[in-house]
Structure 1
Amino acid sequence: MIKRIQHWLHHSLVSRLTLLVSLATLCAWIVFSVVLLHEARKETAEVLDRQLTAYADMLWQNLGDEDDLKPALYKNRDKHVVLGFSLRDREGGEVISSLATAFPVQPAASRYPYLIQHQGHAWQITVRQDDERQLIVGEPQRNQLKIAHELSEHLGETAMWAFLLLLPLLLLAIRQGLKPLKLVTAELAEREPNNLNPLEIAVPCEITPLRDRLNTLFAQVSNTLARERRFTADAAHELRTPLAGLRVQIELAQNSPRAEIREKALGKALAGVDRTTRLVTQLLALSRLEHGEQLEFEAISLPDLARTALIEADLPIDDGHLIVDQATPMRGQPILLGLLLRNVLDNARHYAGKAASIQIQINGVRLRVTDDGPGVSEADLTRLGERFYRPPGQAQPGVGLGLSIVRRIADLHGAKLQLSNLPEGGFCVEVIFNLDLPS
């Protein structure tokens, strides 16, 4: 039974809140009722004491002789005494009494009623006296207790019914208070799986953190999917040319009747496989960085990276293609910088006038790659580097990802990428590296 209750409470927020609020309300109600009953009894006792005092004052003021007290005497002589009095003379002798056994002589007059024991019962009495007489007026304490008990029963019954009436109201109020949660649930239930837009519904401040956390989660999932799509596009872009070259070399090896041509083609195919393997490694490294993996920098040599990139691009390594004015020691990620150089050189080869006009210049932290191509218009220049953007009228194959990969790698190194048209004609890609990279 206890396990069922625990299961019920753990799986129903309405039930849990109703129980907790009911318990809290019950505790507050009990404390309130106890205080109320205490104050009610106290006020009742004070009212009855004032009533007793007023009755005593009335008897004392109207006291003439014993005949004045006889109506009160016969009225109060029954087995259920409400009020009683005793009149004694100066020597303490009994003059008249409404009780079978008169009240004993009291030491002095009293301003306020007080409690005595008389004939085995508790009495609340008040005393009036002068030099000749002493009037003692009292009432059984059980009268006060009876009234207080009846008052307690009435208040307790009223409080119980009020609490029972409050329970369904609490349940209704809690259900209405949790209605925004149902609105959020309904909004989520109606969404398509690919809808990752943030929730815009208005909710109370208590539910706002939940809505904001859901919106953050939607944004994170959206970014993850965008990175996956970006990696797929990058991989397709980068692998298209190497795979096409491999196919050409393999077909040449298959179809050539000459052994030396077949061996040369197979050698180029193996070299192409090695380049493709390095390219896949570079793409995977870029993908890991896209997913938040920490970039690890190490000491690099820009001239050595440039020579390797020229070899992979089948360009000669001479003073016409590589100019090193000053080699500054710096830090970076060699795999990603190799990918950056490869994309810059591929872009130059596609759009340059002649391959012999491609030139890499290294001066300190500046890497500059130029060609003698037609360049681009000023309007297109501002958009180069955007993913999938290609200037209109291009005859060369491509999808517009090469320079976007270059920009991303430059950003990861804290480098500044500048794209410009040369005054003498041609296009220039310049990367200015940051020497303050962490160790």
Structure 2
Amino acid sequence: MSIDARTPWSLRRRLLGAILAASAVLWLASLGTLTAIAWQETGEVFDDALEESAYMLMAATTDLEARGLLARQNPLEGDEVRRVDMQYQIVVGNQVVQRTAGAPGRPFVGAFDDDHGFVDLLVDDDRWRVFVVRDEARRFEVQVGQRAEKRFDILEELADALWLPVLGFFLLLAFVVWWLTGRVLAPLHRTAQAIAAKTPEDLARVDAQGQPRELLPIITALNGVLGRLDAALQAERRFTADAAHELRTPLAGLHMHVQLLQRQHPDLSAPFRKLRTDIGRLTALVDSLLTLARLDPLARAQLAGQEVALRPLFETLQAEYADEAARRGITLALRCEIGTLQADPQMLGIVLRNLVGNALRYCPAGSRVEVEAVHHGGRDRIAVRDDGPGVDEASRRRLTERFFRVLGTEEGGSGLGLSIVKRIAELHGAKLAFGPGLDGRGLGVTLDWPPSHGTVLTARRRPEANQ
């Protein structure tokens, strides 16, 4: 079905027209089939009637003593029982002088006053329909009767012959209507798919061109909602980005002033150290908010994806966190079995720093943290696992919620790190999952990248640890 995309069309009219057209075509086809079957069946009935008439005419023109009709009560051997089964009597003076074997011995109709006519009557508990005709001189009359059940037999034969074609046409009509309604309602499914594909990053208007008239009010209202929602999200992102950007400079200045005051007043070193820590947490929060504000409006097609060499990135990560791992008494091991990975290099660095930083922050002294890049199930996997206190199942499902932090931890944090990891994973089409860590303890975070053509290094374990 071709649809003019320039003008709206009526879904109701198209559906009505399709069903009516299909019904008319199938009705004409079924009528022709039924007519052919009925013609064949009625032809057989009339042929039998003609045959019966021939027998009656032969009997009527035969000498009464030579007829022998009264003696032949049963059909001759080999004769078929004719489905019309008409019986006749010749009545003279209210006495039956000649009859067929199936007719009663007394007249069907007694004291018939008209010259001819039909009479419905009951004879020996059988219902008959009888036609009576008198000769002009009223010397005798002929009465021809047929049992009513024989007429129903003909209807039953017709029904037996017609039920299968009727059922076939009904099923065909049901299939055609189902197919036509599917074709006509296809725009509904396409529109539903277009709406379901909408994300906070894609709030573009749903195209109203080529849509049926019945959907236009819904699409118009939905486009209005999408427009308002997009404007609200854009305003929120601009506010977050502007606020975070404006806060970075005064926070940096405040940090420098605290350092200066700490040198000038060494006796207040402890309070100033606490103040510097709080300023550092606030600065990290502002940086996270600014990062999210930059990531939220991005689409996957906008990523500056390239082949990122993972081993140099792992070595840089090792150098950055060596001192912190040693200070906390945590073993940090890295294993890289993948040469390159298709990703945005800056975002991949943010992911690794967030995951490793979280693991070091929340694991107690003596714990192990392992970072690996391996092939798993046809995908490139980056995993960060530890054997620390871990996270319960209920909290794991909320780890990527913004500003969510697991209760009972003494370490500070903004609760935005894993939200940033989740957003970067979405932009890269990667699957983020949480599970048990090392030896069934702690927390394990895995990122399965989509299949790519990155290079593979020789699989060898190369732990680089810091105590």
- Tell whether the structures are fold-level matches, with TM greater than 0.5: no
**TM-score normalised by structure 2 residue count:** 0.38
